[in-house]
Structure 1
Amino acid sequence: MSALAASITEALRRNVGQTTDFDLNPEVVLPAGRTLRPAGVLLGIETFSDRPRVLLTKRSSALRHHPGQIAFPGGKVDATDRDATAAALREASEEVGLPPMLPRILGHLPSHETVTGFQVTPVVALIERPFDTRAEIGEVAEVFRVPLDHLLDVSRYQIQSRHWRGARRHYFVVPFGPYYIWGATARMLRGFAAAMGAGE
């Protein structure tokens, strides 16, 4: 096992706790007994270049959920999916052309609840060989990569806010060049960075 794989595997064993889109908004009271739809996303780390990179997408502005936002490949768990990992791999194949057998699954981050009612399981995997990237028409506007060390540096994360549904909502942001990575994706990445840094 590579040093990076070993570090990630150890980090995923640490209990960093579940995250939500409401972490920075403690005044929000979530209804008891709410039903969340299961989803899986792939936190895929490409290791075949000199500098490991995380695979991300910019969603189409025409989508119903999170239009135009930066996201991991992934989506809701369908009836034909065995679990959230299977959903993440299926969606990554559909959205960016990643062969389902290519990622080496290392584990999972704690689940994340979104404001749109999804319980998202982040699946962490290494992508150790190049593949032909193909953005799914109508779903994905762009596929891009961010250096892993940029995303693991907690000092790069900011807290910003905006008005949403009549109230001010705070959220994490981790900018990279022209890409405004925020919301659920930034929160999950911030949790990953915290887990990776906990052993230092």
Structure 2
Amino acid sequence: MAYELDEDGISLRDSIVRSPIASVVSDPRLPDNPIIAVNQAFCDLTGYSDDEILGRNCRFLAGPATEPWLTERIRQGTRDRRATLVEILNYKRDGQPFRNAVLVAPVFTPDGELEYFLGSQVELEPDAVGPSSSRHHHAVEVVRTLSPRQREILQQIAAGHRSKQIAYNLSLSEKTVKMHRGLILEKIGTHNVADAIRLAVEAGL
């Protein structure tokens, strides 16, 4: 299966492979938006092998007590092509339920066409509650270290835009966007866009 390259020549698949966060990539251009790439962290979290995951929609993690209104919120986010973060009850392969902070975010081509959805999952501690969770506070503190321009660009990245579209949206050159993009990744301590998207949404951008 072929994967499109981003502006730095790194596929989204390769980006999630390097991420310590459980992540998948799905293709909304195929029937039922199936998963086309998965990283080892996702397999470790859920107990499923990659062969059991690829080709399926992420809803396979749902179970008897999964909240239908939260499932619908995710579906609405994909219909609206916007990043959505919910804390939902999911189930591992052995049937064990776990509280899951699920992010689903669109990724667009440089020309603004919907290309993929990035999905990432973080198992929450039993006492973690919504915006008061430690991940949210950490994300907010990291974002505060960015300049106003860098926060604008990170927000655009979290919306799924590539450098060409960000440059157009913010009336900047692509060179300037890419420079800030590199500084953002350095400041937030990651080398891939998948983790940057997750952090931005967790911070509420």
Normalised to the residue count of structure 2, the TM-score between the two structures is 0.33
Q: Which has the higher strand share?
A: 1
Higher RCO, 1 vs 2 (CA within 8 Å, ≥6 residues apart):
1
Normalised to the residue count of structure 1, the TM-score between the two structures is 0.34
